Structure 1
């Protein structure tokens, strides 16, 4: 049995540990830390001789103090130094939590993203929060949202069920981006009985006119079971890697598949998806065991 002195030491030590853990999870990992996570793969159907470096940024969730315009700018500067042939933005630029000290307007975060540079350009899709925080888009049931307009306004290509053919060193490939799968929230006010997605995989891939490999941008990874083998690589965000990971396990994932597509490089039936852990926070401004990350993918 513990004596009073031993109990107080144990209690004090536990309390200090919890305070230190909370300070790290709330004040350090989500605000200061930034990792670069690298993958290298040659998926089926990839053109021999085509070497492509993709730099992927997901889920900024701009807000004060967790993801200020200045922090977004510093992340973009870091991304520019990673030697990407192409930079892709995987959605959710607007705040994902109400626990903020101030908003970062769409013009402010877009101006920071406009500093991104890559030989094959910067290409973007939008995410569920970009739709959910736009009352006009929710009311009308269609875009463009203010995030679509902000990105386009600074010269960033935005994909909404669209495919574009690009080329590097004489080798072609397709970049396809689908619209968000959770775009229109369930709403009694708007007479919408269930959440509706606006993605069109079939229509997007129907725009492809040759056998060059395809890279698909899809904010939520839940679409992956429906992605055909024609797509060489799918890139997603949304899950934040669970935002809390303990020994590789996340207690929560915003996916109907649970932990199946929560983070990392997943291969199913010889089809490849990489799910970014993202950069910002959603619901609660906390990250633990899954620090903000820039993803670098060397393909081929």
Structure 2
């Protein structure tokens, strides 16, 4: 009996240590990952620009509060980006009124962002579940442009914001019809990377989030869950398809339990050039 109790105690200590570590990892300052992407249609004589990509803030969970988000915004500002791109899921949970309740905590931190080409965002599945109109209105108060199957031109780039595919709001055809008349290099910003195989050949860069890079990635076993129809293909990082670069950020917050393991928070600093 004593041996059994000792084994149980050791197992409990291991589980407690794992929990505490995963809870701490979920609140780490995001790792800054970098990439340089050459884009067709880059205007002649225009120098490269620096874009920061973030996603999956999920404010309202134990892993993301206003103070932590404010600290992350300071980290972003220190990178001196020309533009900040946000790939959705600003709100935590599934409460239909969650955006109204939790979203105000986004405004003060996001108002500190000041890139010269502005801040552009799309919505994610949790934003649709918790109140898309509410989160769009709140982001507007922070001077953030939200694209819903729409387009905006910023300096040398034209950004097509495809709405969330996971909740069946994506309209690639409508977005491309609006994007093609614009001059400049073309970028698609969306929440779920699963639209990648459906993009036309004249798009060469897709920026997305949604996967949390697995959120929990165990040794040998790998990710404990997947939210992509393509398994690990677009789970994390820079993925090179024929003619298309896909960058999937691991995001800043958490969905479900406020834990991360083997998939720390990250953001991307991307140099775009011709």
The 1:8–1:97 alpha-carbon spacing in structure 2 relative to 1, beyond 3 Å, is farther
Identify if the C-alpha distance between structure 1 residues 42 and 6 changes in structure 2 by more than 3 Å, giving closer, same or farther: farther
The 1:35/1:220 distance shift into structure 2, 3 A limit, reads same
Q: CA deviation at 1:38?
A: 1.6
Structure 2 CA distance, aligned partners of 1:104 and 1:56? 25
Q: Distance in 1 between matches of 2:111 and 2:193?
A: 26
In structure 2, what is the Cα distance between the partners aligned to 1:241 and 1:174? Answer: 27
Secondary structure of the structure 1 residue equivalent to 2:136: helix
Partner of 1:285: 258
Q: By how many angstroms is 1:251 displaced?
A: 2.9
* Higher helix proportion (structure 1 or 2): 2
Q: Which residue in the other structure is 2:14 paired with? A: 17
The answer (yes or no) to whether the contact 1:97–1:281 under 8 Å persists in 2 is no
Q: From the superposition, tell whether residues 224 and 159 of structure 1 become closer, same or farther in structure 2 (CA, over 3 Å).
A: same
| CA–CA distance in structure 1, aligned partners of residues 224 and 42 of structure 2 | 35
Q: CA deviation at 1:292?
A: 1.1
Query: In the alignment, is residue 273 of structure 1 matched against residue 246 of structure 2?
Result: yes
**Alignment match, 1:60:** 57
Instruction: Give yes or no for the alignment of 1:251 onto 2:235.
Output: no
List alignment gaps of at least 5 residues for structure 2. none
Aligned partner of residue 219 in structure 1, secondary structure: coil
Match of 1:37?
A: 33
What SS does the aligned partner of 1:129 have? Answer: helix
Shift in Å, 1:5:
8.7
- Residue equivalent to 1:109: 106
The question of whether the paired residues in 2 share the 8 Å contact of 1:130 and 1:147 is answered with: yes
**Bigger Rg, which one:** 1
Distance across 2 between alignment mates of 1:91 and 1:282: 13
State the match for 1:71 in structure 2: 68
Show the counterpart of 1:173: 157
Candidates 156, 162, 167, aligned match of 2:144? 156
1:280 positional shift: 0.7
Give unpaired runs (5+ residues) of structure 1: 135-143, 184-196
The aligned counterpart of 1:188 is none
Cα RMSD after superposing both structures: 2.4
TM-score normalised per structure 1: 0.80
Counterpart CA distance in 2 for 1:288 and 1:46 is 39
Q: How many residues align?
A: 266
What residue is the counterpart of 2:134 in the other structure? Answer: 146
Task: Write out per-residue CA displacement over residues 34-65 of structure 1, whole angstroms, 9 at most, x where no aligned residue.
Answer: 31122223255555764121101100000153
Residue matched to 2:119: 122
Distance 1:251 1:45 in 2: 40
Q: CA deviation at 1:259?
A: 1.2
SS across alignment from 2:137: helix
Q: 1:96 to 1:291 in 2, by over 3 A?
A: farther
SS in 2 for 1:206: helix
CA shift at 1:239, angstroms? 0.7
Provide, for residues 12-33 of structure 1, a one-character-per-residue CA deviation record: whole Å limited to 9, x for no partner: 555433321221012x011234
Gap change, CA 1:31 and 1:210, over 3 Å in 2: closer
